[in-house]
Every structure is written in structure tokens, then in C-alpha cells.
Amino acid sequence: MSIDCFIYHPLKLWFDLTLFFLVFIAFVVLIYLAYRRLDEMEYLLNKCSLITPNQRVWGNSIRGRMIRLSAVTAAVVLPKWNVKRGAVDWQQVQAFPRNLKRLLQGTLLVGVFFLISATADILYKWLYQ
């Protein structure tokens, strides 16, 4: 791969730079949530069987905090699916603050968009080379 693909495809360059910027912002937001707001979020969901075992198992390392944040995200973003499984308390998920819920949904959306665009880019290179 050479620099020519960026020179001859400026739209792809701007798309990739915008996507990189969005992923970077989402990563910074997730780190902020993991270190500043995770304990509050876990306290708000203290009756959920999806959340409480992760606190004891994973601890306070960066990896553990990110895994615990992923469990909180799964509980908040997919509440109906987790209620069917009996993993979350519906009233606690409904009482979860809307701004934190939107932040978690936004970072998840950016991650899904990144995976879709990366897969499309790989398939495009694979099919047309």
C-alpha cells in the first residue's frame, strides 16, 4: 500500500480520519467512565446479577474496569434481552440516568460503525485486487 491510494481517493482519506477521530473520542469517553463514573453506575445497578459478580472477580485494574464497564453497558443498552435472562432488575435499569445511558449507547454505536466500515474496507480490498 502506498501513499497514492490517499492522494487519488481524498474522500476515503477524510472518511478514515473522521472515523479515527470518532473512535479516539469514544475511547477517551470510555476511559473517563471507567475511572470516574463506574462505581456510581454499579451502585445504581446493585441488584443486577450481571453486574455484582464482575465487581468481585475483575478488581480495579484497567482491564477489570473495562470489563466491568462492558457489563454495565450490556445491562443498560440491552435491557429487554437481559430481563428475559433474569440478569438485570428492570426498575434499576429504568432509573439509570439518561445522560450516562446515552454515552454508553453512543460509544457502542461508534464501535459498531467502526467494525462495519473496517469489514467493508477489507472486503473491498479483497474483492477488487
Structure confidence by residue, pLDDT tens digits, 67-77: 999 999 999 99
Residue 123 — pLDDT band, cuts 50, 70, 90? Answer: confident
pLDDT given at position 77:
93
The CA distance from 30 to 27, in Å, is 5
CA 113 to CA 107: how far, in whole Å? 10
Higher local confidence (pLDDT), 3 or 87: 87
CA atoms within 13 A on the CB side of 9: 10
Backbone φ and ψ of 94, nearest 5°? -70, -30
Residue 104 predicted with pLDDT over 90? yes
pLDDT average, residue stretch 107-114: 93
Structural domain boundaries in the chain? 4-127
CB 66 within 8 A of CB 30: yes
Query: Which SS3 state, helix, strand or coil, does residue 57 take?
Result: helix
pLDDT in tens, 48-66: 998 988 888 998 899 999 9
- Give the span between the Cα atoms of 90 and 20, in whole angstroms: 35
Which residues, other chains included, contact 104 with Cβ-Cβ below 8 Å and sequence gap of 6+? 33, 72, 73, 76, 77
Average pLDDT score over the chain: 89
pTM attached to this predicted model: 0.83
| Segment 11-39 mean pLDDT | 90
